[in-house]
Amino acid sequence: MSRKSILAILVILLLVTASLLGLPRMVRRIEEQTESAPVVVTCTPDPFLSGE
């Protein structure tokens, strides 16, 4: 097998490995971003509190 073939196979393996390992890391990052800050809503009309 030529040097180019080996290089191409290594690139593909690298791509697959990066994709497989990167996916959980990306999910973890989204979760951390969601966890880092509270979501506060102000002045929202609330149908349940307008019973007076």
Which stretches of the chain bind other proteins, using CB under 8 A?
2, 4-5, 8-9, 11-12, 15-16, 19-20, 22-24, 26-27, 30-31, 34-35, 37-44, 46-49, 51-52
Least Å distance between CB 33 and other proteins?
9
Least Å distance between CB 35 and other proteins?
5
- HSE (side-chain half, CA atoms, 13 Å) at 18: 6
User: Taking Cα atoms as reference points, which of 41, 24, 21, 22 lies closest to residue 32?
Assistant: 24
Residue type, 32: E
Least Å distance between CB 11 and other proteins?
7
How far is the C-alpha of 30 from the C-alpha of 28, rounded, in Å?
Answer: 5
